[in-house]
Amino acid sequence: MSAEKLPITAEDLYQITLVEDPRLSPDGRWIAYVVVTVDKDDNGYKRHIWLMPTTGGAPVQLTRSGKDTQPRWSPDGKTLAFTSGRNDKPQIYLLPIGEPGGEPRPLTRLPNGANTPAWSPDGQQIAFLAPMNAAERAAEDRGEEDPRPADKLEGRHRKERKEHDEAKRWDPRIVTRIPYRTGTTYLDDRFTQVYVMAVNDDSAKPRRLTSIDADHNPPQWSLDGQYLYTARTDDPERGEPWRWSNLYRIRLADGTHDELTDSRFSSVNPLPSPDGRWLAYIRWPRERLSERNNWLAILPADGGESHDLNLTFDRSVAEYRWLPDSSGLVVTIQDAGNIEIYRVTLADGRFEAVFSGTLHVEGLDVGSDGSLAFTVSTPQNPCELYYQAAGAAPQQMTTVNQKFLDQVIVQEPHELRWQSPSGQEIQGWYLLPVGYEAGQQYPLAFNIHGGPHVMWGPSMKSMWHEWQFYAARGYVVFYANPRGSNGYGEGFQMALHSAWGDVAYDDLMSGLDVLLAKGFVNSQRLAVTGGSYGGYMTAWIVGHTDRFASAVAHRGVYNLLSFTGTTDIFSFIPTEYGLQMWEDPIYLWQHSPLAHAHHIKTPLLLIHAENDFRVPISEAEQLFAYVHRSGGIVQLVRFPREGHELTRSGEPEHRVSNLTHTINWFDKYCGK
C-alpha cells in the first residue's frame, strides 16, 4: 500500500467534481461548460459555468450563483445564454462574453420559469420551453399579466399568496391520468410549451407557439429561421406520453404544426443538419419499446421517409451531433461496457471509431471546424473535460479531480469473460481490494445493475466512488452485464423477455463461479447488492440460494403486480413480459421475488426512498414484512425526501449514509 495515499472513504463523495454540457464557441476558441461540486455545508450541489480556451491554459469562471446550467452560444459568439435558478424559478439569462465586468441580464421572467434556450440562426431570437396550464395560457392569450410589485414587501406577500393558492388547488388532489407523479413530485396541470422571444428588444415579450396539454422536447431551429422542430405525444389523452411521441415542425409565422414521423414508432429529440436538409432523431418501435436499442434515424426536414443508420451496426446511440458539412454525424456508442465516439457517414452508413478505449464519453459537442468537446470518465478518474481539434488527438483540458486523486488509492479494474449455461458469452469486471496480497482470500461485494437494459463498465461515473469505496474497505468488487444489458446488440438486450430472474440468475451465478475459481475470494464471505432491477435480482438471488452471507437491496421491484399498479411507468412490466396484469397474474407472481421471500435466510438489508415514484416504497415494505414474518433476518432503512435517484443525485448526506449502511451490513455478516 502506498505510504503517501489513503484508501477512499464514503465521505470522499464531497471531494468529487463533475463536468457537464460542454459547448464550443462558433469561432472554436472557447468551450463553455458546467462544473458540479458537492456543497457539504448546504447538503446540496452547486453548478457554475466556466470557460476553457481550446488552446489550453487557465479556465475562467463565468457565473457564481451555484444554480447555472445549459450554456448556449449566440451565432456570433458574443453572448452566452444560460438557465439559472438564482432568483427562485429558473429563467434564461444572457451574458456578454469578452466585455470587462459584463453581468448576466434576465431575458425571461415567466411565472413558472423557462429553460433550454436555443438561438435563432440570425441571433435575433431565442426559443425555449416554459410550463403553463390551460388557464394561464388563456390569460396570456388575452394579454393579461400581473403588474410589477410596488416594492419588495409587496413582492414577498404576492409570492406567499401564490404559493398558498397553488397548494390549495391540490388539496385534495384529484387524479385523472397516469402517470400522476414522477421523480419525487406529483404532476400538476402545467405542460412545457414552446416560446420564442426577441433578444435585443427591451420591450419584447415572449410569444408562445404551442397550446396543448403535452410536454414538448427542447426546440431546434430550421436553417432559414422559419420553423422550429420539437417532439411531443401525438395524443395528450393517452398515458405515458413518451411511448407516443412524434416529431413536429412549427411554423413561426402562424404557429401551425406539421406531424413528420411514422406513428408506429416513438420519436424524440430532432436535430436539423447544418445545411437544413435533414433531421436526425432517436426512435423506437412501439412494440417492445423498452427492450430496444436506441435507433438513430434521419428524415428530410420537411417530412418524408425515415432511414435508420445503426440497425446493422446493432449498438445503441446515446448522443449525436451533425458534422459541419452535413455529410454525417458524430455519435456516442454504447459497446461492451464502454461509451465511445464514432463517426457515421450518410453516403454509406459506415460507423468509424473516433475515440475509443476503456472510457465513458458524455456531453458531446461538435465545432464549426469539426473539432469535438466532450466529458470523459475512466477507471482512474470520475470525470474531466476533453477537446479534440480537427485531425488531432484528444486532449484532457481540465484537472478538476486531480487534487483529490493525488491523495487517494484508486484500484484498477480487471476484465472477466465467461460462458453462461445458455452458451452466451458474458462480460464482467472485478477490482482487487486495497492492500491485496497474493495467496490471501477476501470477502466479495457483488454488484448488479438496474434497468434492466442499461450497461455497466469500469468507467461508470455514477458507480466510480461506490466501487472504489468497497475496494478500500477490503472487498473484491465484482460487476457484470448479464443478458438484458445494453451494449451487446438488440438480441442480447431482448433475451431477458418474460423471465427477468431466471435468465440473469444463470449469467450472474456462472460468473461468480468463474471468479471464485481464481482463488482470491472467500466463498463463505459473499455479499450481493443492487438497485432497482438490481434490487429485484438481489432479492431473487437470495430467494433461490443460500450461498451469500449478506445482501443489500436498494429501491427494488419485488412484486411485479403491485409495482405495475403504483409506478409512473405502468406499461413497463406488460412490455417486458408480453402480457397485462389481469391476463396471467399467477405467472407474474411466480416471477416476483416476493413469491420466494419466505425462502430468504441470507441477512437482508432493504434501502428505499420514501418519495420514490418510479419504484414506490411499498415494494420494500412488502418484502420486509414477508422476510420478517417467515423468520429471516431483515432491516428496512427509509430515506425521507428522496426518490429513485437517491444514490446518484440525492442529498449528499443521504448518499454517504446509504454507503455507510451498506458497508456496515456487509461487514456485519461477512465477518471482517
Cα angle, residue 555 at apex, residues 551 and 559 outer, rounded to 5°: 90
pLDDT in tens, 513-569: 999 999 999 999 999 999 999 999 999 999 999 999 999 999 999 999 999 999 999
- Which one-letter DSSP state was computed for residue 481? E
Q: How does the average pLDDT of the chain come out, rounded? A: 96
Cα–Cα separations (whole angstroms), residue 415 to 427, 511, 583, 644:
7, 12, 42, 29
Strands, E, within 484-549: which ranges?
521-531
Kindly list the distances between the CA atom of residue 121 and the CA atoms of 91, 105, 118, 391, 634, in Å, as whole numbers in the listed order: 22, 21, 9, 27, 60
DSSP per-residue codes, 401-449: THHHHTTB--PPEEEEEEE-TTS-EEEEEEEPPTT--TT--EEEEEEE-
Percent of the chain, pLDDT > 90?
A: 92
Long-range contacts of 25-29 (CB under 8 A, 24+ apart): 25/73, 25/77, 25/97, 25/367, 26/73, 26/74, 26/75, 26/76, 26/77, 26/368, 27/77, 27/368, 28/54, 28/367, 28/368, 28/369, 28/371, 29/53, 29/54, 29/55, 29/77
The pLDDT of residue 223 is above 70: yes
Q: Could you tell me the CATH superfamily of domain 17-140+174-404?
A: TolB, C-terminal domain (2.120.10.30)
The whole-number pLDDT of residue 228 equals 98
Mark 65-89 as b/e (b = at least 16 C-beta within 10 Å). Answer: ebbbbbbbbbeebebbbbbbbeeee
Q: Which one is predicted more confidently, 103 or 78?
A: 78
State the pLDDT confidence band at 3, using cuts at 50, 70 and 90.
Answer: low
Any idea which of 136-145, 376-385, 558-567 has the lowest mean pLDDT?
Answer: 136-145
Choose the weakest-confidence range: 22-26, 39-43, 178-182, 647-651.
178-182
Cis peptide before 106 (omega within 30 of 0): no
| Marked catalytic residue, from 449, 554, 591, 644 | 644
SS3 463: helix
CATH superfamily, domain at 409-670: Alpha/Beta hydrolase fold, catalytic domain (3.40.50.1820)
Can you give the pLDDT at residue 440? 97
- Alpha-carbon distance of 8 to 23, in angstroms, equals 32
Q: What is the pLDDT of residues 9-53, one digit of tens each?
A: 999 999 999 999 999 999 999 999 999 999 999 999 999 999 999
Q: CB neighbours (10 Å) of residue 182?
A: 15
CA distance 300 to 307: 10
C-beta separation of 475 from 442 below 8 A: yes
pLDDT greater than 80 at residue 2 = no
Is the predicted pLDDT of residue 195 greater than 50, yes or no?
yes
**pLDDT of 150 strictly over 70:** yes
Closest by CA to 109, choosing from 122, 125, 94, is: 94
**Residues pairing with 246 in the sheet:** 232
**Whether 227 contacts 249, CB under 8 Å:** yes
Asked about 532 being catalytic, the answer comes back as: yes
Annotated catalytic residue, options 485, 532, 550, 592: 532
So what's the pLDDT on residue 399? 97
What DSSP element (H or E) covers 359?
Answer: none
**DSSP label at residue 120:** -
Q: Span 216-237, mean pLDDT? A: 96
The pLDDT assigned to 672 comes to 65
Number of Cβ within 10 Å of residue 375's Cβ equals 23
The mean pLDDT of 407-411, rounded to a whole number, is 98
Give pLDDT, residue 623: 98
> How confident is the model over 613-627, as a mean pLDDT?
98
Section 144-170 average pLDDT? 86
Output the pLDDT for position 110: 96
Q: Are 349 and 328 in contact (CB under 8 A)?
A: no
The confidence score (pLDDT) of residue 1 equals: 46
> Which of 322, 275, 381 is closest to 16 using CA atoms?
381
**Residue 101 — pLDDT band, cuts 50, 70, 90?**
low
- 3-class state of residue 477 by DSSP: strand
Answer whether residue 203 shows pLDDT above 90.
no
**Which residue, 456, 587, 464, 639, is CA-closest to 534?**
456
Q: Are strands 550-554 and 521-531 parallel, antiparallel or unpaired?
A: parallel
Q: Is 551 within 8 Å of 604 (Cβ atoms)?
A: yes
pLDDT value of residue 145: 83
Q: pLDDT band at 334, cuts 50/70/90?
A: very high
Minimum mean pLDDT range among 155-164, 555-564, 568-577: 155-164
CA-nearest of 286, 214, 224 to 248 is 214
Stretch(es) of the chain classified as CATH 2.120.10.30: 17-140+174-404
Q: Where in the chain is the domain with CATH 3.40.50.1820?
A: 409-670
Cell numbers 429529440 correspond to what residue? 269
| pLDDT(100) > 80 | no
For β-strands 60-61 and 68-73, DSSP reports them as: unpaired
Contact status, residue 606 vs residue 618, Cβ threshold 8 Å = no
Whether residue 505 contacts residue 542, with contact meaning beta carbons closer than 8 Å, is answered with no
Amino acid letter, residue 291: E
The predicted-structure confidence for 285-320, as pLDDT tens digits, reads as follows 999 999 999 999 999 999 999 999 999 999 999 999
In DSSP notation, 2-69 reads -SS-B---GGGGGG--EEEEEEE-TTSSEEEEEEEEEETTTTEEEEEEEEEETT-S--EE---SSBEE
Average pLDDT score over residue span 85-106: 89
